[in-house]
Amino acid sequence: MGEEVEVKMKVKLFGVWSSPYSRRIKLALKLKIIPFEYVEEELSNKSCLLVKYNPVHKMIPVLVHNEKPILESLIILEYIDAIWKDHPLLPQDPYERAQARFWAKFIDNELLPSVWRTFLSKEEEKDKTKKEASMLLKTLESQLKDKCFFGGDKLGYLDIVANVVAFWIERVQEVVGIELISQENFPILCSWIERFYDVSIAKECLPPKHKHLVYIKARYEVAHGTNKDNN
Ligand SMILES: N[C@@H](CCC(=O)N[C@@H](CS)C(=O)NCC(=O)O)C(=O)O
């Protein structure tokens, strides 16, 4: 018990409830059964601690382990996997590991910006941006081949990175009214999403749907310049 408390004191996660990036870290810590203290940040009023730990970008998530901050969700996932060896997240094979890292960067640097562009696009650009995002989603889907998860039989590193595809895109498209992922167009990806949420820890980590939809709507209106307060 004493040891448990001590470990708990050592690991802190600074995050935001709605962030898919914080969710990656929460999910990894829970899958590895690592006790941690969660600190909810307010991005419009960032805490001194967040700014102290991440003075360069002042962004969440930040993992603090033994008072030392680790930044950037993909780097934090690798750190967690390197420190806590049980329930490995990254593949053990060096080639597979390199592949997982490649696809994680693909999601963050290519797929997500393209999806966001589609959701924010003007009427005349919608078809073009949607086509581009769909192509990138197809490319990602092709990585599943006949596997249950991107990581193989078990939910792993790339599944955690892709959690944003599993819940965020689905919810944003509901708010925005642009259908990017459907059972018809992406049957393999949709089956993966179902399997993802059959994992109880992954389901537990989901932001509450109604609260999340309200939040996405407000963010979308601001980003799209349609918020009444902005006019
Ligand atoms: N590349 C970063 C992205 C994290 C990110 O975008 N965090 C957002 C919240 S979802 C943030 O902290 N934004 C700070 C701000 O809006 O000032 C990661 O993977 O950790």
pLDDT digits (tens, 9 = 90+) for 40-60: 999 999 999 999 999 999 999
Domain boundary among 83, 113, 140: 83
Supply the pLDDT for residue 167.
87
Q: How far is the CA of 61 from the centre of ligand 1 (A)?
A: 7
Residue 113 and residue 176 in one domain: yes
Domain range spanning residue 137? 94-222
Supply the pLDDT for residue 226.
62
Residue 47 and residue 123 in one domain: no
Residue 51 and residue 139 in one domain: no
Cα–Cα distance between 106 and 128 in angstroms, integer? Answer: 20
61 ligand 1 Cβ < 6 A: yes
Tell me the three state secondary structure of residue 39: strand
Q: How far is the CA of 11 from the centre of ligand 1 (A)?
A: 20
The answer for residues whose C-beta is within 8 angstroms of residue 19's C-beta and 6 or more apart is 60, 61
19 ligand 1 Cβ < 6 A: yes
Task: Cis check for the bond before 113: say yes or no (omega within 30 of 0).
Answer: no
65 neighbors 55 (Cβ within 8 angstroms): no
Residue 69 and residue 32 in one domain: yes
Nearest CA to ligand 1 atom 13: 59
Q: How far is the CA of 69 from the centre of ligand 1 (A)?
A: 15
Number of domains in the chain: 2
Supply the pLDDT for residue 9.
54
Residue numbers in the chain where pLDDT is lower than 70:
1-9, 226-231
Cα–Cα distance between 38 and 12 in angstroms, integer? Answer: 6
Place of tokens 């997500």: 112
Is 208 within a domain? yes
- Across the beta sheet with 11-15, what order do the strands follow? 37-40, 11-15, 62-65, 68-71
DSSP state of 40: E
60 ligand 1 Cβ < 6 A: yes
Is 227 within a domain? no
Q: How far is the CA of 59 from the centre of ligand 1 (A)?
A: 5
Domain boundary among 83, 114, 140: 83
